[in-house]
Homo-oligomer: A and B are copies of this chain.
Amino acid sequence: MSTARFTELVENLPATVPFVGPDAHMRASGRAFRARLGANESGFGPSPKAIAAMQDEAAQAWMYGDSECHDLRMALAAHHQIAPENIHVGEGIDGILGNLVRLLVAPGDAVVTSDGAYPTFNYHVAGFGGALHKVPYRDDHEDPAALLVRAEQVGAKLLYFCNPDNPMGSWHSARIVQRLIDAVPEGTLLVLDEAYIDAAPEGTAPALDADDTRVIRMRTFSKLYGLAGMRIGYAIGAAPLIAMFDRIRNHFGVGRLAQAGALAALHDQAWLAHVKTNLDAARKMLGEIASDNGLHALPSATNFVTIDCGHDGAYARKLVQELMSRDVFVRMPFVAPHDRCIRVSAGPPTELAVFAEVLPQALRNI
């Protein structure tokens, strides 16, 4: 009897997954969510033009998607006023991060991130055998100075920095981020994850210098563009770095409807503005719901609000359980001291009303 011989690296990987998905939670409870506010999806939906584009393309689904994502890359290049050679389109930021780690990280190579930052990035680093070094947040913000020191110390190949930040919703100004880029040590590539940049105030994103070899920037259609279910995002970086993805990527991996939907969504900037307006109102409402219940909403430059519950991680975990048991899907940061908080996506008013209704019950039950 033959048995598959896994690599030593794979044999030693844990069987955990970074996130339990919303649908898996619903199956576990046997009930639908009343409010789906845990995965930072955009409850305001995608652009009606994106919906129509995907519906129009559905009958053409027998054809592979364009392996070069040409039309979308051209449109993104025009949108950002950069060259298409500076753009890699991939299967969401998750997929692109996996391939980026694969390009750079061999077993034992050092990678730096913040303790409590995006777990899927850590998952990919572990998956390729990288040695992950974590730096604490400082006052609920990622700490650029400390990250730089650690990257220098360990000779990091990658330095992960998410701005605005998930899960804290905090952000640094473009000036600070540019200083971080300028100070990246020789031999370290800065991964600037800007998944939430469309939700941030003006002056949060440093000017795009797409040929800067020190940084690769991640953008997505999964958040404000409302296309999480289509798996499409992109990276902006120096052309020689972007070209390297061709050596390892799944060339036909970005679907045909995904490309059509993303292209239409990009062209409908009026919808994006509409979503931003709704987002502002939703963040404000979440702040009010929090304070009405004696909790404190942290400032947010993302499409979610992180709410400080004023106690320890055990308390917040119990609150998440109480909310989930009432079919309100939220999540919370993983590590102390952030795990004093819960994280609530900025959804439409009807969903936030459910959260407002259920939160006092959940708090009373702790």
A364 within 8 A of B: no
Q: With the chains together, A50 CA to B54 CA distance in Å?
A: 13
Give the interface residue-count category, chain A. Answer: 35 or more
Q: With the chains together, A70 CA to B26 CA distance in Å?
A: 12
Instruction: Give per-residue flags for A50-70: 1 if the beta carbon is below 8 A from chain B beta carbons, else 0.
Output: 110011011111111111101
Are B241 and A256 closer than 8 Å at their CB atoms? no
A14 within 8 A of B: yes
Are A104 and B5 closer than 8 Å at their CB atoms? yes
Are B61 and A213 closer than 8 Å at their CB atoms? no
Are A66 and B21 closer than 8 Å at their CB atoms? yes
A150 within 8 A of B: no
A179 within 8 A of B: no
Which residues 63-121 in A have Cβ within 8 Å of B in the complex?
Answer: 63-68, 70, 91-92, 94-95, 98, 102-106, 109, 120
Instruction: Give per-residue flags for A300-335: 1 if the beta carbon is below 8 A from chain B beta carbons, else 0.
Output: 000000000000000000000000000000000000
Interfacial chain B residues near A91, Cβ < 8 Å: 91, 250, 253
Secondary structure dominating the interface of A: loop
Q: With the chains together, A67 CA to B252 CA distance in Å?
A: 20
A299 within 8 A of B: no
Interfacial chain B residues near A105, Cβ < 8 Å: 7
A199 within 8 A of B: no
Are A229 and B253 closer than 8 Å at their CB atoms? no
Task: Determine which of B3, B8, B18, B44 lies in contact with A251 in the assembled complex, contact meaning CB atoms within 8 Å.
Answer: B18
Interfacial chain B residues near A59, Cβ < 8 Å: 45-46, 51
Interfacial chain B residues near A41, Cβ < 8 Å: 62-64
Interfacial chain B residues near A261, Cβ < 8 Å: 58, 61
Are B45 and A228 closer than 8 Å at their CB atoms? no
Q: With the chains together, A105 CA to B10 CA distance in Å?
A: 10
Name the residue on B nearest A44 (C-beta).
B62
Q: With the chains together, A67 CA to B21 CA distance in Å?
A: 6
A35 within 8 A of B: no
Q: With the chains together, A54 CA to B190 CA distance in Å?
A: 38
Are A92 and B252 closer than 8 Å at their CB atoms? yes
Name the residue on B nearest A120 (C-beta).
B251
Interfacial chain B residues near A366, Cβ < 8 Å: none
Task: Determine which of B3, B120, B188, B229 lies in contact with A256 in the assembled complex, contact meaning CB atoms within 8 Å.
Answer: B229
Given A24-B66, A62-B228, A188:B2 Cβ within 8 A: yes
Are B92 and A253 closer than 8 Å at their CB atoms? yes
A202 within 8 A of B: no
A246 within 8 A of B: yes
A138 within 8 A of B: no
Interfacial chain B residues near A46, Cβ < 8 Å: 59, 61-62
A207 within 8 A of B: no
Are B67 and A61 closer than 8 Å at their CB atoms? no
Instruction: Give per-residue flags for A233-266: 1 if the beta carbon is below 8 A from chain B beta carbons, else 0.
Output: 0000000010110111011111111100100000
Task: Determine which of B3, B190, B229 lies in contact with A257 in the assembled complex, contact meaning CB atoms within 8 Å.
Answer: B229
Pairs A–B under 8 Å by Cβ, sample size 14:
A2-B190, A3-B187, A6-B244, A7-B106, A13-B247, A17-B246, A21-B67, A39-B64, A58-B58, A62-B227, A62-B228, A228-B252, A231-B254, A257-B257
User: In the complex, given contacts A4-B216, A231-B254, what are 12 additional A-B residue pairs having Cβ atoms less than 8 angstroms apart?
Assistant: A1-B214, A4-B157, A4-B189, A39-B63, A41-B62, A41-B64, A51-B58, A54-B257, A55-B58, A91-B250, A228-B252, A255-B255
